Amino acid sequence: MNIVEKILARASGRDSVSPDDVIFAKVDKAMVHDVSGPGVIKVFDKLKKQGINVDKLWDSSKVWVAEDHFVPSAEKISAENIVKLQNFTKNYGIEKHFKYGMGQYGICHTISHEEAMVLPGEVYVGGDSHTNTTGALGAFACGLGHTDIAYVLLNGKIWFKIPETLYFKLNGKLPDHVMAKDLILKIIGDIGTDGGAYQTMQFGGSGIDEMSVESRLTLCNMTTEAGAKNGIVEPDQKVVDYLTKRGASNITLVNGDSDAEYAKVYEYESSEMEPTVAKPFSPENTVVVRDAPNVDLDKSYIGSCTGAKYEDLEAAAKILKGRKVKIRTEVLPAAISIYKRAMENGLLKIFLDAGVTVGPPTCGACCGAHMGVLAKDEICISTTNRNFPGRMGHVESQTYLSSPLVAAASAVTGKITDPRDLN
């Protein structure tokens, strides 16, 4: 069995599973945020009216809550959703609630790794599609809607069809100017936004072994954009060290068997990878940066669970050090812990000296919610994950998806720029 089959066999109490088997898997961790949480509350209210007992969760200690999409609240509906969420966690005795304005908080997927909320080999479900991110820690991490999450919170299990696995093998270490974001954009460009539909996308090979945990998180994050059920990397010592540093203990690594089966294997050579962007209006609409259209950008956005981890900020700072931005540029670290490290290590000064505005952690403009959305006809280069029509604001605005290096280089020139071509 491969790693996903092994995790799901264990979680369903079976000796083995194969693709297409339908199982009920015991869940180890579950997450809701300020969009899916109020959805769950609404489902609970409906169940209560039907006479179904919703007084207790299956295990409050395994549930955690993030405030990320609509914080800081821009208007009263969002503010009220946060109050609802806080009452919910209080009523059900959920202790792990990362609150805006009270120390560590951030985008749920970033909290999942910054706070070691999920461990290798676990089944982790979240009420958000980018829950796939956390598969980089060697867990089965999968996004669900709020009805499914409500079911998990009450029953501690959920149904899955065992996915086939696509294996993406990267040979050799990525060159300095190429980031994991470029690789995942290239892959989505190759297989399309339904190229991984209902399947697992697993990443391996010497290039992945060489990669930092944070880069692997970027890869798994955007498996969602290929339609995948989950993304995963087999855990190694780097994952153990990363999680241990963040307070985890009793880590057991689950790995696939040497004769594991994959539906298809794709091979990529690191030496052939180039800085890449996805043009509007789809993540599959990719082109290498040097062939990108010569458009005048209005904005550069360095934020989100995809592109505002510490490593992403470090990459942007490397470019912006001693330079000035030519267009409106925002950096929003994805969690307070990252914000703090960026401050301690001088990154915030580099950003501010370059003319960048540094904002608080939030999903904010990534999903067109608030805090810096785009006007009609505005063009943005962004380290986020989606560029569908209207994704970051007006339905006639445009977003190019890129790595933090490319977003920073483009901020300096006002054009889509390969970091190698900066003076």
Partner 1 sequence: MKGNVIKYERDNIDTDVIIPGQYLKIHDYAELATHAMEGLDSEFHSKVKEGDFILSGKNFGCGSSREHAPIALSHSGIKAVLALSFARIFYRNAVDGAFLLPIEIDENAYKNISEGDEIDIDINSNEIKNITRNQTYQMKPFSEIIGKIIEAGGLFKYKPD
> Does 373 engage in binding with partner 1 (CB under 8 A)?
yes
Beta bridge partners of 329: 300
> Does 303 engage in binding with partner 1 (CB under 8 A)?
no
Q: Which is nearer to partner 1, 43 or 356 (CB)?
A: 43
Q: Which of the residues 154 through 183 are near partner 1 (CB under 8 A)?
A: 159, 161
Q: Which is nearer to partner 1, 315 or 373 (CB)?
A: 373
Q: Which of the residues 56 through 95 are near partner 1 (CB under 8 A)?
A: 69-70, 77-78, 81
- C-alpha distance from residue 385 to each of 313, 363, 367 (Å): 16, 11, 9
> Does 389 engage in binding with partner 1 (CB under 8 A)?
yes
Q: Are 193 and 225 in contact (CB under 8 A)?
A: yes
* Total Cβ atoms within 10 A of residue 6: 19
Q: Which is nearer to partner 1, 144 or 174 (CB)?
A: 144
Q: Which region, judged by CB under 8 A, interacts with partner 1, from 143-151, 203-211, 287-295, 348-356?
A: 143-151
Interface map 94-133 toward partner 1 (x if CB under 8 A): ---------------------------------xxx-x--
Q: Which of the residues 392 through 411 are near partner 1 (CB under 8 A)?
A: 395
Q: Pull the structure tokens for residue 255.
A: 């790995």
Q: Smallest distance, Å, CB 141 to partner 1?
A: 13
Q: Smallest distance, Å, CB 326 to partner 1?
A: 28
> Does 292 engage in binding with partner 1 (CB under 8 A)?
no
> Does 145 engage in binding with partner 1 (CB under 8 A)?
yes
Phi, psi of 333 (to 5 degrees): -55, 145
160's enclosing H/E stretch is strand 157-161
> Does 391 engage in binding with partner 1 (CB under 8 A)?
yes
Q: Which is nearer to partner 1, 337 or 385 (CB)?
A: 385
Among 326, 208, 348, CA closest to 267: 208
Q: Which region, judged by CB under 8 A, interacts with partner 1, from 9-17, 171-179, 234-242, 362-370?
A: 362-370
* Rounded Cα–Cα distance for residues 94 and 27 (Å): 16
Side-by-side strand order, sheet with 123-126: 96-98, 63-66, 29-32, 123-126, 140-143
* Total Cβ atoms within 10 A of residue 363: 30
Q: Smallest distance, Å, CB 353 to partner 1?
A: 32
Q: Smallest distance, Å, CB 155 to partner 1?
A: 9
> Does 38 engage in binding with partner 1 (CB under 8 A)?
yes
Q: Smallest distance, Å, CB 18 to partner 1?
A: 15
Q: Which is nearer to partner 1, 39 or 204 (CB)?
A: 39
* Rounded Cα–Cα distance for residues 359 and 369 (Å): 15
Q: Are 75 and 110 in contact (CB under 8 A)?
A: no
What are the residues whose beta carbons fall under 8 Å from the beta carbon of 237, sequence distance 6 or more?
Answer: none
Q: How many residues bind partner 1 (CB under 8 A)?
A: 45
* Interacting residue with partner 1 among 17, 27, 107, 144 (CB under 8 A): 144
* Interacting residue with partner 1 among 193, 221, 329, 397 (CB under 8 A): 193
Q: Smallest distance, Å, CB 344 to partner 1?
A: 33
Residues 122, 251, 58: CA angle, nearest 5 degrees: 40
Q: Are 360 and 103 in contact (CB under 8 A)?
A: no
* Rounded Cα–Cα distance for residues 326 and 346 (Å): 21
* Rounded Cα–Cα distance for residues 266 and 195 (Å): 12
* Rounded Cα–Cα distance for residues 122 and 211 (Å): 22
Kind of pairing between the strands at 328-331 and 299-302: parallel
| Packing angle of the helix pair 146-155, 36-49 (nearest 10 deg) | 60
Q: Which of the residues 229 through 288 are near partner 1 (CB under 8 A)?
A: 229, 282
> Does 146 engage in binding with partner 1 (CB under 8 A)?
yes
* Interacting residue with partner 1 among 94, 118, 331, 367 (CB under 8 A): 367
* Interacting residue with partner 1 among 29, 216, 299, 386 (CB under 8 A): 386
Q: Are 266 and 166 in contact (CB under 8 A)?
A: yes
**Cis before 168 (ω within 30):** no
Interface map 211-230 toward partner 1 (x if CB under 8 A): ----------------x-x-
- C-alpha distance from residue 370 to each of 280, 327, 391 (Å): 20, 19, 11
Return residues touching partner 1 (CB under 8 A).
Answer: 22, 24, 35-36, 38-39, 42, 47, 52, 69-70, 77-78, 81, 127-129, 131, 143-148, 151, 159, 161, 193-194, 197-198, 227, 229, 282, 367-370, 373, 386, 388-391, 395
